[in-house]
């Protein structure tokens, strides 16, 4: 268990080592048992571990051992481990269950375990299986379970409905606390979370929320509607998961109820699922901002073809856009031929412009994603960036003049002037473009993350070259 | 309230509009009341709102109104709103409380409210105040509260200890369920969360965890130690918040207990605080990856000087590094002067190399941050990237040849050859450098995010130019 790491080891690795894995000696022991094919010991080792760690340990075994060990675990422990198990192993298990050679007892045990999973966990499993195995698995479930899961599967991907679980406790708002406690005791075992209960009025219409704590600490004769918190923050089934995550963060919720168009209660989304959404959305932003299509799978599991396909589109678009920079240089070929020294500053000017633009566009994209910056404030932002650009530009010019004096041979005053005047203009342009384009994208309902470093760099490069040669022609020619 | 948005409006804005603010008509009404300086109506409007929304509404008022309205709210409502209030307003309130003109009654009400805040919320408030106001506020608290808060304040920033709250319920492991329920009823009102209770053995040593649900659903005579989950995942007080967040995510926890070196229970960290950590760490990664120092404050609240300072260091480092590209161009000045057409492909080659490198380094940095990629797998990753690079390089060459034939005048076969041979070499180099440098950084305990796009671009640019001219010299000269 990660929790057994010594305090010293932790302080050494404060910044870097955020992986919480199983300790090395346990890992070695498991690999040893796997090599000896000691199924019995493997099973009892996994049984004794935390479910999340046991799921990691399972990955150390051979594919055959994974199936054998897992299917012979006690049912309740197996079910707990299953929710943490890697998707490859899940697919392998379901394939094994679906194969004709499997005994009826093993098949039925597995189906029973699947029936007992919370609906949102079961949906996670189905999401990872190929379509034929989804049908295979659903066809073996009870009718109730099949209908329940199909109802969630019909919601669009990334909607609140697709994330929710349907195990929650609703209490009629006219019930007493005593009645509520009795109902919770009756139904609680089968529900994923009962930390929050939801009060409903006529027609299952959501009317309030109560923590289990509130119920437990209230007088037995009080009515639910008198102690519930109302109005309650909720999500609609079709709402996008990003919007739902933003609500959960803003209102510091631990779970959010999901309602249909008529505001009838249909499910809840728990905090751990929201945390997964936040992580996934941030990863997508990182990918888009580096000019890639968001990946479906983890890097280590993605094939060469998929990785190449995700990257090639934007590389080609950006490469073709650079035709423009080629045109600009060609147009000023004569100037360049007569003043070859100008060429040696092109990379520095392009890179600095690109970096300045990347800084601002990143701040804008992230600021809009977490809700700090609104496109409506563009005038204020531009005014701010203009002043920052002048300060940054002045500092860069100073550093650049020192750099040129130290490192560049055969320097003339006009060349120093050309390079530094251009530098200031580029910095100001990059900062302004870097804040305006992401905000414009958001205003026009495009994803601002597309206006990140690579796109800004391409635009700033073309501008930088044009300004550079135009300034040079005026001063040098 | 955000929850009142119609379903249609939500679907239109699925991707973009993740801001959950107060509706425009309510905003207008509040601004109207503010302009009329109608304190009474403002107060009753805020009273009726959700605390998080009321805190946003407070920002619409004038500074004087913010203080007046807030300080005359009913105490319990004020306390709830206070945890969501913007830091500027908090500072203003504490300043007002500290000023000699304030009546004793208002001052005492405010101190009482502060005393009632959960410890982690109180620490959040203190973190945002200037040092003199922290002392002022602490000096007016009771001795117990002062000692409690000082104990948390002494933990290093970003450690588990600095994030925790000290309001939690511990149950002796030999207690019965009936005894536990009685204790929860007695103590629960004063605790921030009682969804999870923690079992302790002799000397307060943490031994297990129980959900309130488990306690509620168990027989009254059962002992806590027979129903608790053990061993329990915990964090040490000095552990870094990133490590704690990784544990919470891996084990899907809703709260994590914090222990001292002797594994004695000292606090808990709740899920909403972990979510804030994840968001903050991701924002820092975005900033570092765009060559900036992580910001302390939101963009809109940061001054020009701070914004410029956060950006200038890396801009100068990267600019000075580009001296190298200048040297390379200068060295090949004669070649460039005789073949001026070569200059027109420099930006395309540099940008494409930079983009390829940025893609891989982003995947590596993010993959290591979320735990998908380990530096130990470097050989496998390089082998993967090598094949991706060849596929991407081939596709880019094809696109580039078409582009050159269409758009570039006075093209010769040798030039086409030089540009495309260089292109493939650059793509392969960029992909390999883009995966190796972030992994090496992590291995050497540097932050991998520093090896993102800007740094990779600078390195790839120098390499690209050198290869370009070397290939050109061999083929053209």
Give DSSP secondary structure letters for A148-214: HHHHHHTSPTTBHHHH-BS---EEETT-BHHHHHHHHHHHGGG-S--SEEEEE-GGGBEEEEEEHHH
Which residues lie closer than 8 Å to B306 by C-beta, 6 or more apart? B295, B296, B297
Give the mean model confidence (pLDDT) for residues A133-138. 85
> Is the pLDDT assigned to residue A116 strictly greater than 50?
yes
* Range in A17-26, A93-102, B82-91 with the lowest mean pLDDT: A17-26
Chain A residues with CB-CB distance to B232 below 8 A: 3
Residue A112 reports pLDDT greater than 50: yes
The reply to whether CATH 3.40.50.720 applies to domain A322-476 is no
Report d(CA B185, CA B137) in Å as an integer.
Answer: 31
SS3 B195: coil
Q: How large is the average pLDDT for residues A44-72?
A: 89
Cβ atoms within 10 A of the Cβ of A253, count?
Answer: 23
Instruction: Please compute the mean of the pLDDT values over residues B5-25 and round it to a whole number.
Output: 48
Same fold, A2-154 and A322-476: no
Crossing angle (nearest 10°) for helices A51-58 and A24-35: 50
Taking only the tens place, the pLDDT of each residue in B389-407 is: 999 999 999 999 999 998 8
Q: At B13, is the pLDDT very low, low, confident or very high (cuts 50, 70, 90)?
A: very low
Measured distance CA(A244)–CA(A267) in Å, rounded? 13
DSSP 3-state percent helix, strand, coil across chain A (nearest 5): 70, 5, 25
Backbone angles phi, psi at A283, to 5 degrees: -60, -40
Average pLDDT over residues A346-352: 91
The pLDDT of A9-16, averaged and rounded, is 36
- A128 contact partners, CB below 8 Å, separation of at least 6: A87, A90, A91
Residues A82 and A77: their CA atoms lie apart, in Å, by: 9
- Using an 8 Å CB-CB cutoff, list chain A residues near B291: 355, 358-359
**Nearest partner of A450 among A266, A288, A249, judged by Cα:** A288
Q: Show the CA angle centred on residue A449, arms to residues A443 and A455, nearest 5°.
A: 100
Distance CA A3, CA A242 (A): 32
Q: Residue A7: its pLDDT value, please? A: 33
Question: Would the pLDDT of A477 be above 50?
Answer: yes
Provide ipTM, 2 decimals: 0.76
| Cα B340 from Cα A6, distance rounded (Å) | 63
A432, A298 contact by CB (below 8 A): no
Nearest Cα to Cα of residue B155 among B254, B259, B249: B259
Determine what percent of chain B is predicted with pLDDT higher than 90. Answer: 32
Reply yes or no on whether the pLDDT at A215 is more than 70: yes
Q: Strand, helix or coil at B270?
A: strand
Calculate mean pLDDT across residues A86-101. 86
pLDDT in tens, B284-327: 888 888 888 888 788 888 888 888 888 898 899 898 888 898 88
pLDDT reported for residue A439: 93
For chain A, say whether B306 makes contact (Cβ under 8 Å): no
User: Mean pLDDT in chain B?
Assistant: 86
Tell me which fold the domain A2-154 belongs to: MgtE N-terminal fold (1.25.60)
In this prediction, residue B192 carries a pLDDT of: 65
Of A194, A275, A367, the CB nearest to B213: A194
pLDDT band of residue B20 (cuts 50, 70, 90) is low
Q: Distance of CA A212 to CAs A398, B190, B211, B228, Å? A: 63, 15, 11, 19
A44 vs A11, more confident: A44
Q: Is B260 on the interface with A (CB under 8 A)?
A: no
Chain A CB contacts of B354 under 8 Å are 354, 454, 457
The predicted model gives A37-52 an average pLDDT of 90
Q: Report, as an integer, the average pLDDT of B227-245.
A: 91
What pLDDT score does A460 carry? Answer: 93
pLDDT digits (tens, 9 = 90+) for A376-433: 888 999 999 999 999 999 999 999 999 999 888 878 899 999 999 999 999 999 999 9
Residues of A in contact with B207 (CB under 8 A): none
Give the pLDDT mean for B169-182: 92
> In terms of Cα–Cα distance, which of A243, A248, A303, A295 is closest to A275?
A248
What's the pLDDT score for residue A2? 33
Residue B372 has pLDDT above 70, yes or no: yes
Strand order in the sheet with A265-270: A235-236, A255-259, A265-270
- Given strand B265-270, what is the order of strands in its sheet? B235-236, B255-259, B265-270
Answer yes or no: is pLDDT of A111 > 60: yes
Residue A18 has, within 13 A of its CA and on its CB side, a CA count of 26
Pick the CATH number of A170-270 from 1.10.3720.10, 3.10.580.10, 3.90.1530.10, 3.40.50.720: 3.10.580.10
Say yes or no for a CB contact (<8 Å) between A282 and B287.
Answer: no
Instruction: From the options 3.10.580.10, 3.90.1150.10, 3.40.350.10, 3.10.129.10, give the CATH code of B170-279.
Output: 3.10.580.10
Q: What is the DSSP letter of B218?
A: S
**Average of pLDDT values for A222-244?**
91
Question: B119 pLDDT band (50/70/90 cuts)?
Answer: confident
pLDDT at B463 (0 to 100): 93
CA distance A112 to chain B (A): 22
Query: What are the residues whose beta carbons fall under 8 Å from the beta carbon of B197, sequence distance 6 or more?
Result: B168, B169, B170, B171, B180, B184, B209, B210, B211, B212, B215
Q: Could you tell me the pLDDT band of residue A4, with boundaries at 50, 70 and 90? A: very low
Model pLDDT, residue A393: 94
Domain boundaries, chain A: 2-154, 170-270, 322-476
Give the residue-averaged pLDDT of B351-370: 91
Spell out the residues 6+ positions from residue B388 whose beta carbon is closer than 8 angstroms to its own. Answer: A304, A307, A308, A311, B431
CB A81 within 8 A of CB A53: no
- Give the A window 361-420 contacts with B, CB below 8 Å: 361-363, 365-367, 369-374, 377, 380, 384, 387-388, 391-392, 395-396, 399-400, 403, 407-409
Would you give the DSSP letter of residue B193? -
């Amino acid at each position: 268990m990660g929790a057994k790491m010594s305090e010293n080891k932790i302080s050494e690795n404060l910044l870097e080592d955020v992986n919480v894995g199983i300790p090395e000696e346990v890992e070695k022991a498991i690999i040893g048992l796997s090599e000896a094919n000691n199924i019995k010991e493997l099973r009892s080792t996994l049984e004794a571990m935390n479910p999340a760690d046991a799921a990691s340990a399972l990955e150390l075994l051979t594919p055959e051992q994974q199936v054998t060990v897992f299917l012979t675990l006690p049912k309740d422990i197996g079910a707990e481990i299953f929710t943490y198990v890697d998707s490859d192993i899940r697919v392998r298990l379901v394939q094994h269950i679906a194969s004709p050679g499997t005994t009826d007892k093993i098949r039925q045990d597995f189906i029973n375990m699947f029936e007992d999973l919370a609906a949102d966990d079961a949906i996670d499993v189905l999401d990872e299986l190929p379509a034929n195995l989804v049908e295979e698995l659903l066809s073996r479930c009870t009718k109730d379970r099949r209908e329940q899961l199909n109802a969630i599967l019909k919601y669009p991907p990334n909607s609140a409905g697709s994330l929710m679980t349907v195990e929650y406790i609703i209490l009629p708002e006219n019930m007493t606390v005593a009645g509520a406690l009795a109902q919770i005791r009756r139904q609680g075992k089968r529900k994923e979370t009962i930390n929050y209960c939801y009060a409903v009025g006529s027609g299952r219409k959501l009317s309030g929320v109560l923590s289990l704590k509130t119920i437990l600490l209230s007088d037995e004769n009080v009515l639910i509607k008198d102690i519930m918190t109302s109005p309650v923050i909720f999500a609609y089934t079709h709402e996008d998961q990003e919007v739902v995550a933003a609500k959960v963060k803003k209102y510091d919720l631990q779970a959010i109820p999901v309602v249909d168009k008529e505001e009838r209660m249909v499910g809840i989304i728990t905090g751990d699922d929201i945390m997964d959404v936040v992580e996934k959305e941030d990863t997508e932003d990182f990918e888009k901002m580096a000019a890639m299509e968001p990946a479906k799978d983890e890097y280590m599991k993605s094939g060469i073809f998929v990785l190449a396909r995700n990257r090639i589109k934007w590389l080609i678009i950006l490469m073709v856009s650079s035709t423009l920079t080629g045109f600009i240089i060609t147009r000023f070929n004569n100037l360049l031929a007569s003043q070859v020294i100008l060429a040696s500053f092109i990379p520095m000017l392009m890179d600095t412009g690109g970096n300045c633009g990347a800084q601002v566009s990143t701040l804008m994209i992230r600021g809009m994603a977490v809700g700090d910056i609104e496109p409506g404030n563009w005038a204020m932002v531009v005014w701010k960036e203009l002043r920052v650009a002048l300060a940054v530009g002045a500092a860069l010019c100073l550093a650049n003049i020192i750099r040129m004096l130290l490192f560049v041979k055969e320097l003339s005053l006009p060349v120093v002037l050309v390079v530094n005047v251009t530098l200031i203009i580029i910095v100001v342009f990059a900062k302004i473009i870097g804040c305006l384009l992401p905000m414009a994208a958001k205003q026009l309902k495009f994803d601002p993350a597309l206006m990140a470093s690579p796109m800004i760099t391409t635009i700033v490069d073309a501008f930088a070259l044009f300004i550079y040669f135009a300034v040079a022609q005026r001063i040098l020619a």
